[in-house]
Amino acid sequence: MVLNIVPLLLYAQQDTAQVKMRELIANNFLFATRQYKLLIRNVPPEVMPKTYDVQKNKVIASDIKWWCSGFYPGTLLYLYEYSRDTAIMTEAVKRLSILEKEKTYTGNHDLGFMMYCSFGNAYRLTGNALYKAVIMTSAGSLATRYRPSVKAIQSWDASTNFKCPVIIDNMMNLELLEWAGHNGGDKRFEEIAANHANTTLRNHFRPNYSCYHVVDYDPASGQVIKKRTWQGYSDSSSWSRGQSWALYGYTMMYRFTKNKTYLQQAKQVADFILNNRNMPADKVPAWDFDAPDQPEQPKDASAAAIMASALLELGQYTYGKEKTRYINVAEKMLRSLSSSKYRAAYGSNGGFLLMHSTGALPFKSEVDVPLTYADYYFLEALLRYQKWYL
């Protein structure tokens, strides 16, 4: 009988931990549903929420061409998925209706963020064929930015700073192309996504598997001109959210392609993040892993939310100690983000969920504020944990 005590204790501890995570997830969605009903009242009908100015006590909004425009309806859809609150769904449908016309936008690479985080979730939850049609049109629009000479999707238009810039964030937009190609769209979408992922893997990463933010290419020859940052501390530093985009992007590409090169890349990026000497105990990193004077640098809760969601998916494709490590770190991130240190009090923060994100510190833009995509990936990670690990 004595020999059975340890296993029984382990099972009891595991069960207790699962109960606590169920409670944490339920608490977060109850809070988020109430909090977002406040945000709904604070946002004019023809724009999307972006952040919150605490000094002015005002929600800062963006037009629908802003790269973050899909996160608000996407977050509402995640809230509806958990709560089935019809008032939340009504608001999501309203916001989708004003966003739909951006399906033909070709001004930058952000159609995945804009149209897949919104209409992708809408189609997944409703099966509405009109939403699928929007996704397909959006994928076609994104594909117009593919540059065969570079074998990548050009992120921004040419400027005095860049000729053909490709940023690590662009890995996230490949989900739109992959989904469309796998669900009745042009198979060329999948080819473009794979080519872009391969070019990025070849040119964006350093030997330690950290990544540059921007790689600029010669549009004629396809050769690399320079490797820089736009939002990080320096050209050679590891901008935290950029590392999270890389982790999420290659994990997602493995989901669609089952190409083990992408899985290996995701695991190596994860190792860089998790082993980083500047990753704090609460697993919510500063805005750049290499910025000096840590831990005094501003945090980026959005980076942690994205990392948590990506690590939970990476746990689906790994085994043993490796899998356990990814899940445990993601859980730590979610517990930290759910604490009063990062999650706003009800009625505060303009209606946003998370505090202490950093958008673009070098430009003194969105520093230590709520950001719409931090909320989106936070709820996504909570739903993934519930679906896969409870």
Q: Which residues does the annotation mark as catalytic?
A: 110, 169
| Alpha-carbon distance values, 247 to 21, 82, 291 (Å) | 24, 26, 20
Is 228 strand, coil or helix?
A: strand
- Interatomic CA distance for residues 291 and 365, integer angstroms: 17
Q: How far is Cα 199 from Cα 193, in angstroms, rounded to an integer?
A: 10
- Alpha-carbon span 51 to 60, nearest angstrom: 5
Question: Across-strand partners of 226?
Answer: 216
- On whether the CB atoms of residues 347 and 31 are closer than 8 A, the answer is no
Rounded CA-CA distance 233/358 in Å is 12
Q: How far apart are CA 313 and CA 299, in angstroms?
A: 24
Residue 54: name the closest of 366, 301, 302, 363 by CA: 366
H helix runs in the chain, sequence order: 5-42, 71-83, 86-99, 111, 121-126, 129-143, 174-182, 188-203, 240-257, 260-274, 301-314, 320-338, 372-389
Point out which residues pair with 374 in neighbouring strands: none
Q: Which DSSP letter does residue 345 get?
A: P
59 strand-pairing partners: 52
3-state secondary structure of 370: coil
**At which residue do the structure tokens 């662009």 appear?**
170
DSSP 344: P
